[in-house]
A and B are shown apart, each in its own frame.
Chain A
């Protein structure tokens, strides 16, 4: 079964600190990997999309990396802000899957003063 697993499940960091979230997937054949940010009570918002040929992609203070050989991805957040408090969801798309996505359960990040 195609799966996407994320770690840690939850994380608390101090404002201004960096953090890294992990994603392991078994989805095959793989088309692309996305990271979404979901604020409480809102819909997910796309941060990055990477194909299997891309190793890294940045969006402001967010940097995603991808190792298609080991089927691992990470999302690095630099100089965290209170507004970064949210759930971060790793999502993988199947090749030829008709744009069907497999979602991870997310990492709940809380940034505190």
Chain B
């Protein structure tokens, strides 16, 4: 049981390049999330998917797109990377724990945009 996995672990891009961050979970969770974490700031929600086939914007969606490929996989795409997107990206999946949504996080992808 691997939990939430993310690829790649590290990535360096040049401004304007595109890339897709991959996330998969094996806990049969309905909801999945993408966050970014920047120094001195709390994690911020980029996009989330409450269930397979649905996606919604979070707090900071500009410059990103997502795809909920199936129940297990939720990818985040940067179409034209900018230096402001340099960050650590975390994927999470959610379960209902006593009526509360417990979220389990992946190990993160460290992205640098030059």
CB within 8 Å for A102 and B42 given contacts A31-B100, A32-B100, A43-B4: yes
CB within 8 Å for A105 and B40 given contacts A43-B108, A98-B50, A99-B94: yes
Contact B106 A43 (CB under 8 A): yes
Q: How far is the CB of B107 from chain A (nearest CB, A)?
A: 5
- The number of residue pairs between A and B whose CB atoms lie closer than 8 Å in the complex comes to 54
Specify which chain B residues have a CB less than 8 angstroms from the CB of A31 in the assembled complex.
Answer: 100
Please report which residues of chain A, range 64-113, place their CB below 8 angstroms from some CB of chain B when the two chains form the complex: 89, 93, 98-106
Q: Mark A18-55, 1 if CB is under 8 A from B, else 0.
A: 00000000000001100000000111111001010000
Chain B residues bordering chain A, tally (CB within 8 A): 26
Specify which chain B residues have a CB less than 8 angstroms from the CB of A89 in the assembled complex.
Answer: 42-43
Q: Mark B99-114, 1 if CB is under 8 A from A, else 0.
A: 0111111111000000
- Give the secondary structure class of A's interface: strand
CB within 8 Å for A51 and B100 given contacts A42-B107, A45-B105: yes
A-B pairs with beta carbons under 8 Å apart, 24 shown: A4-B42, A32-B100, A42-B107, A43-B4, A43-B90, A44-B90, A46-B104, A49-B98, A49-B100, A49-B102, A89-B42, A89-B43, A93-B100, A98-B48, A98-B56, A99-B31, A99-B94, A99-B103, A100-B48, A102-B42, A103-B42, A103-B43, A105-B40, A105-B41
Contact B100 A100 (CB under 8 A): no
Q: How far is the CB of A52 from chain B (nearest CB, A)?
A: 11
Specify which chain B residues have a CB less than 8 angstroms from the CB of A46 in the assembled complex.
Answer: 102-104
Interface residues of A (CB under 8 A from B): 4, 31-32, 41-46, 49, 51, 89, 93, 98-106
Report how far A69 CA is from B49 CA in the complex, Å. 33
Report how far A31 CA is from B97 CA in the complex, Å. 13
Which of B92, B97, B105, B106 counts the most A-chain CB atoms under 10 A from its CB?
A: B105
Q: How far is the CB of A1 from chain B (nearest CB, A)?
A: 11
CB within 8 Å for A100 and B45 given contacts A43-B90, A49-B97, A105-B40: yes
